[in-house]
């Protein structure tokens, strides 16, 4: 009897999880900037100082969010999924690391960054940069 109850409960949990995992468990309400096969949506986003911007990946491809080191305000904190300190480190890790390393944002995952200074912040997706997957966050007072 207990085995039947356990199996019934496990099936219900499995069904519930399958529904969540089908689209990665993300809805457009969970993020500010989405990722398609080779584009950030929207390409331009306006935030205010102190705002945390969330990028979400409902797509089936792995992506990154990587700031162009020379295209963010001079005093601003560098940002990249994976927590890298530089554009060069992010690029190198993406090429060399496997699995979850390298700043990869897989289906259903997200990355967030809080912008503390006003200015223009240009960023890109490492594997899809040459396909045009680039974006800009404008931070206002």
pLDDT recorded at residue 24: 58
Find all residues with CB under 8 Å of 61, minimum gap 6, and list them: 37, 107, 127, 128
What pLDDT does 102 receive?
85
Is 72 within 8 Å of 86 (Cβ atoms)?
no
Would you list the domain boundaries of the chain? 24-140
What contacts 88, CB < 8 A, 6 or more positions away? 69
Question: Which pTM value belongs to this model?
Answer: 0.81
Calpha distance 74→67 (Å, rounded): 13
Model pLDDT for residues 24-72, shown as the tens digit of each residue: 578 888 999 999 999 999 999 999 999 999 999 999 999 999 999 999 9
| Fold topology of 24-140 | Immunoglobulin-like (2.60.40)
Number of H helices, E strands in the chain: 2, 8
Q: Which residues contact residue 24 at a Cβ distance below 8 angstroms, ignoring those fewer than 6 apart?
A: 57, 58, 107, 108, 109
Strands 33-35 and 52-56: parallel
The stretch 6-34 carries a mean pLDDT of: 56
d(CA 41, CA 33): 5
Quick one: pLDDT at residue 97? Answer: 82
For residue range 74-121, what is the model confidence (pLDDT) as tens digits? 999 999 999 999 999 999 999 888 766 789 999 999 999 999 999 999
The confidence score (pLDDT) of residue 50 equals: 98
Q: Please tell me the predicted confidence (pLDDT) of residue 10.
A: 39
> Please, what is the end-to-end C-alpha distance for the chain in angstroms?
63
């Amino acid at each position: 009897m207990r085995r039947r109850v356990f199996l019934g409960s496990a099936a219900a949990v499995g069904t519930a999880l399958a529904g969540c995992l089908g689209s990665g468990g993300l809805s457009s309400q969970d993020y500010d900037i989405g990722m398609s096969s080779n584009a950030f949506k929207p390409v331009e986003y306006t935030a205010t100082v102190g705002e945390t911007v969330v990028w979400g990946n409902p797509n089936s491809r792995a992506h990154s969010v990587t700031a162009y080191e020379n295209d963010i305000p001079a005093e601003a904190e560098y940002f990249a999924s994976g927590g890298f300190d530089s554009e060069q480190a992010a690029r190198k890790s993406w090429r060399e690391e496997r699995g979850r390393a390298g700043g990869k944002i897989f289906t259903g995952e997200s990355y967030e960054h809080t912008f503390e200074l006003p200015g223009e912040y240009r960023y890109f997706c490492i594997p899809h940069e040459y396909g045009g997957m680039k974006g800009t966050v404008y931070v206002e007072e």
